[in-house]
Structure 1
Amino acid sequence: MHVLQVCAEIFPLLKTGGLADVAGALPAALAAEGAQVRVLLPGFPAILAGLEGGVEISHLAPPGAMAAADARLFFGRLPACGVDAYVINAPAFYTRNGGPYADAHQQPYADNHLRFALLGWTAAQLAGGLDASWVPDVVHGHDWHAGLAPAYLRAEAERRGQALAPSLFTVHNLAYQGIFDAAHFAELSLPAHYFAMHGVEFHGRLNFMKAGLYYADRISTVSPSYAREIQHHDQGCGLDGLLRSRAHELEGILNGVDAAVWNPAVDPLLPAPFSADDPAGKASCKSALQRELGLKRAASAPLFCVVSRLTEQKGLHLVLEALPRLVEQGAQFALLGSGDAALEAAFRAAAEADPAAVAVRIGYDEPFAHRLIAASDVIMVPSHYEPCGLTQLYGLAYGALPLVRRVGGLADTVADARLETLDNDATGFVFEPFAAEALEATIRRALALYRRRADWKLVRQRGMRQHFGWDAAASRYMALYGILAPHSAP
């Protein structure tokens, strides 16, 4: 089974969120199931720098306005990711001073429709035999950046009058859809009739996410609960009707954790190793982090943390409202993240007002994220919506009990700690109303359990023993590939 993964970023070379973690871990898990996996990526500088043995496959000749890219397709190895990759080398499109999607002022690039249309178009060319030595049996696109891959696959099959590889499209976050002015559709050289309600049109605009949802042969998303939620108005982001119409072709597959990266027993980024059976090193991690951040050196003070993009989705304004009461009850708080300028400023102000109890680091720092989660007693993920969530899984693995809202993948992965569940399945703390009062009540429950040390250790140990490896997800994906391309199954 030849599987082409199409995505915009990949850990550890380029990461803006959980999508990169998935792209970095899934290929190896699929390979363990017998698949031959290659990844197609835009040639962002970090990705080109990580490509070894790159050989030019083709000087690409995309249609329409994409031709301005003067793009070349290279094939080589990404040793840091452990995967073979096709990389589109198009400096005019991908070499920018800002990030992969937006400039230094967080303004999306005006030509993003072309930059990521080229990604989808190239996927279709590979399915059509651009590299005669390796033709995919299935094309698996991830999120809106790859949303046009299924559309170009369909258009190329129509043009040739023959079937090409079937496609699977995975929604990682439905809220980010890749929406552009309708005038840009003409620049993409898709058939004119594709710009319609039954196609890529969305309220008079061009929508990459909708393209993937409409033209892919199957759809998946990153947790069972999210698969149900996005079929309803409040979480469907305007696409719930389309998703309901394809409910029989939609599956929720829970993301996993890469144990080669997130394992406190062998994590080289930690000051001390620890495990469920030997948790002593966690105290050393906490002491080291308190020293690093200038927090009061207090082993008995429960440490709450947040590792997150600072957006409204993540419910961090609730954390800000609850923070004074959290500190009043003797807890400490540390945050790593960036995003909304007002949230950044508010958390900075909280840290400046009480530096012995509150610490904030703006930005993203992968090694620091490991140290922070390892040191913490509770990791907070009070999201308004959460397709899967990975930080709560990292928290479980590292003995930081998740405090989450009952939504999406958070509901699928964290069992609430109450008196009746302590001896059975409790692994964290769960609340439902999206309100500061509900969060504060759950914080009080967490602090009460923390004071009962034997019960706390029991729940922490159970959480650390949970298994959320990629093997289960890979098996589910392989089953989907087998449905799509039954004659190519390993």
Structure 2
Amino acid sequence: MQVLSVTSEIFPLIKTGGLADVTGALPKALTRFGISTRTLVPAYRPLRALIRDCPPLIEFEDLLGETASLYAVEIEGLELFLLDAPALFDRPGGPYIADNGHDHPDNWRRFAVLCLAAAEIAAGSLPGWQPDLVHTHDWQTALTSVYMREMDCKVPVVLTIHNLAFQGQFSSSLLSSIGLPPSVFSTECLEYYGDICYLKGGLMTADIITAVSPTYAREILTARFGMGLEGVLAARRSKLWGIVNGIDTEIWDPLQDPHLFARFDQKTISLKRLNKMELQNSFGLNNDDGPLFAAVTRLTWQKGMDMLAEAADEIIHGGGKLIILGQGDHEIEEQLKAVADRYPGRMAVQIGYDEETAHRLHGGADSVIQPSRFEPCGLTQLYALRYGCVPVVARTGGLAETIIDANDAALSAKAATGFQFHPVTTEGLRHALRRALHAYASPKEWRRLQIQAMRANYSWERSAEQYANLYGNLVKQPVVRKNPPARRLLS
């Protein structure tokens, strides 16, 4: 089976969040089921060196008035199509945000061009290759299926929602500029409160919609989590599936991780303390016996980081320390830095994201905190489990799916892997932190939590099989497992 995946980011080439990790890992996991994936991604400025000496596969003379070239590149086991449209993608800043901190003003055009190129490929414009299925991700690529249907392209489409809060909503006056007829400006396609909505168009035209956890798939049908699209999703409920994300267990492996000062596994987890000491030294924190908490996340309201700023003193007064890595809302960044200034030697904040530091934090911290108000899946808690870094999480979305709360029953059954809290409030977070501090005070109990966390298996194995079966049903093609799976220790 040949699949075209369309995404705005992919690890290890370009990453702003978990979307890149998923689009980079899922194609590799699907090969076990006889599925070959080629991923279309824009040739952003940092990626143009990859195509410098390559001949283009095809030239697009008019993609919404833009010229573009398509290149094939293979890197780290990924087969990629890079869409080189210099006027749109060869610029400073990130994939979505310019150097001034604001969205690129032409994001509506940039990602419409990406979607139109994907639709052209799906319809057979590439000599010698046409996909059996197209897999799109979030609003940036959701318009692909709208273009395909307008071309009468019958190739089935799967759309994955990674975060419903980002929808690609733009003025209806742009409809003709993205090459679509007035007929799609209706409640059955793009129209959304008088505007056009790329994500809504994808939701209405995709054959299957997936959310990145079963809990999130249920939550987005409600007004609280549906972000205004709950009615659209309810109308397509029979096409909505929840499949929890996995992680790349080769990249996130504490026994092989090149970023760690000391590598370890379940049997040698005592070496984790060496990473903790190195981490505390590098961040200027006291090297005492207290627990080290970490947060690796966007510093936003959604992620609950304003609540962590208010509850950080619970950790400090309980004898712990805290390191925060991330960037986001300026106000929350300043709030966290102000708290850190009050607790020198006990709390540190690093604004920005760095992959190596993220690995070091998981490898050295005792606990990772994720107080998200909503969380479609979350990958940080899965990385934390792998590294024996006990998660403290809000009971929502994928966090609720993947962390087993350390209540009395779970502790007795030796199944607990972390601490959940609900309601998702500052006081709820404080209570969870007190529970974690209390558990840490018992070395035997804490070590058991660490080992149980490391035994949890959230590789892509089972989730990839679910995607493979969805694909197979859509293209009426049986899915055959090519290699025997590794034994799953804990669901």
Same fold (TM over 0.5): yes
Select between 123-132 and 18-27 the one with higher mean Cα deviation: 123-132
The aligned runs of 1:439-478 (5 Å cut-off) are 439-478=429-468
Partner Cα separation in structure 2 for residue 175 and residue 216 of structure 1: 19
CA distance in 2, matches of 1:119, 1:211: 15
Unmatched tracts of structure 1, length 5 or more? 158-162
Query: Is 91-100 or 48-57 further displaced after alignment?
Result: 48-57
| Segment drifting more, 168-177 vs 345-354 | 345-354
Which of 326, 329, 337 aligns to 1:340? It is 329
Matched to 2:37, the amino acid is V
Residues 390-469 of structure 1 aligned to structure 2 (within 5 Å): 390-424=379-413, 425-469=415-459
Alignment match, 2:25? 25
Q: Which of 130, 136, 143 is equivalent to 1:141?
A: 136
Q: Deviations over 1:121-168 (max 9, x none)?
A: 1111111111121100000001111010010111111xxxxx431100
Residues 152-208 of structure 1: per-residue CA shift (max 9 Å, x gap): 111111xxxxx4311000000000011111111110112321011111110011111
Q: How much is the aligned-residue C-alpha RMSD, in angstroms? A: 1.3
| Map 1:47-196 → 2, pairs under 5 A | 47-51=47-51, 54-62=54-62, 66-67=64-65, 69-77=66-74, 79-80=75-76, 82-157=77-152, 163-196=153-186
Tell me which of 319, 335, 344 is aligned to 2:308.
319
Q: Does the 8 Å contact 1:310/1:316 carry over to 2? A: yes
Aligned to 2:352: 363
Contact 1:13–1:50 under 8 Å retained in 2: no
Task: Decide whether aligned partners of structure 1 residues 487 and 444 sit closer, same or farther in structure 2, where only a CA change above 3 A counts.
Answer: closer
Q: Are 1:247 and 2:244 an aligned pair?
A: no
Q: What is the rounded CA distance, in whole Å, between the counterparts of 1:458 and 1:399 in structure 2? A: 10
For 1:355-400, what per-residue CA distance to the aligned partner results, in whole angstroms no more than 9, with x for missing partners?
2100111000100010011111110001000000000001111111
> Contact conserved, 2:314 with 2:434, CA < 8 A, in 1?
no
Distance 2:333 2:470 in 1: 41
Deviation at 1:488, TM superposition (A): 7.3
Corresponding residue for 1:160? none
Q: Distance in 2 between matches of 1:317 and 1:468?
A: 29
Q: Which runs of 5+ in 2 are unaligned?
A: 481-491
Matched-pair contact (CA < 8 Å) for 2:215–2:242: yes
Find out whether 1:351 has 2:344 as its counterpart: no
- Residue 56 of structure 2 aligns to a residue whose secondary structure is strand
Q: Is the 8 A contact 1:139 1:167 kept in 2?
A: yes
| Displacement after TM superposition at 1:53 (Å) | 6.7
Counterpart in 1 of 2:487?
none
| SS of residue paired to 1:306 | strand
* 1:197-276 mapped onto 2 (5 Å cutoff): 197-276=187-266
User: Structure 1 residues 104, 52: closer, same or farther in 2, change over 3 A?
Assistant: closer
The residue matched to 1:268 in structure 2 has which SS? coil
> Structure 2: how far apart are the matches of 1:86 and 1:52?
14
For 2:233 and 2:56, locate their aligned partners in 1 and report how far apart those are by CA, in whole Å.
39
Q: Which of 301, 304, 307 is the equivalent residue of 2:296?
A: 307
Would you say the 8 A contact 1:53–1:76 is kept in 2?
Answer: no
User: Aligned letter for 2:272?
Assistant: K
- SS of equivalent residue, structure 1 residue 84: strand
Q: Secondary structure at the match of 2:31?
A: helix
Cα distance in 2 between the residues matched to 1:339 and 1:385: 16
Distance 1:284 1:226 in 2: 37
Q: CA deviation at 1:45?
A: 1.8
What TM-score do the two structures reach when normalised by structure 1? 0.96
Match of 2:282 in 1: 292
> How far apart are the structure 2 equivalents of 1:151 and 1:343?
38
Counterpart in the other structure of 2:9: 9
Contact preservation (8 Å) 2:175, 2:181: no
Change (3 A) 1:278 1:52: farther
What TM-score, normalized by structure 2, do the two folds share?
A: 0.95
Distance 1:173 1:435 in 2: 21
